[in-house]
Amino acid sequence: MLSSLRILFPAKADNTILGSRIPFYAFVLLTVIGTVRSFIHMLAPDAGLASIAGLDLSFAGSKDVVFFGSQWGAEQLIYAIIQWAVIIRYRSLIPAMWLVQFFETFLRMFVAHIKPITFSHTPPGAIEDKIYIPLTLCMATYALWSATRSKEKSL
């Protein structure tokens, strides 16, 4: 348990990858997807809410919804920039970032559950979330397991 906490929260964040590189490469793919998604929400005329997610925007005040969707894209971009910093410079934090991604996804799904809205079809993000929950838990577990095993071998 203690060694897992040391792997999650290293005393020094550096570019060392302990254990398997699979969680790292999967995290790169997840970050690319998140970066693209953030730009779509920020730059698409409807923030992707109608054209991609299938949200009905034919009501008074829909511009406000698009505004908030675009702001959400900006928040996603900030998160993506942090992810890119970890990928480029602080790879020892990959296991912790998998847990951050789990909580980010879980909380979005929780909000969608307690404040549901109607879409004309299942949005890609809703499908993505159902993949991300098990993926993030598996990658976090695998990253911790392989790093712990790697440390044990080096002793």
Q: How much of the chain is helix, strand and coil, in % rounded to 5?
A: 70, 0, 25
Region class of 61: left (phi > 0), else alpha (psi between -120 and 50), else beta: left
pLDDT at 4 over 90: no
pLDDT at 46 over 90: yes
The residue-averaged pLDDT of 35-55 equals 97
Which residues sit opposite 119 in a β-bridge? 55
Contact indicator for 54, 119 with CB cutoff of 8 Å: yes
Output the pTM of the full model. 0.92
- In whole angstroms, what is the distance from residue 94 CA to residue 40 CA? 25
**pLDDT tens digits for 58-97?**
999 999 999 999 999 999 999 999 999 999 999 999 999 9
| Cα 11 to Cα 77, 81, 82, 147, distances in angstroms | 27, 22, 19, 15
**pLDDT tens digits for 19-41?**
999 999 999 999 999 999 999 99
Q: How confident is the model at residue 2 (pLDDT cuts 50, 70, 90)?
A: low
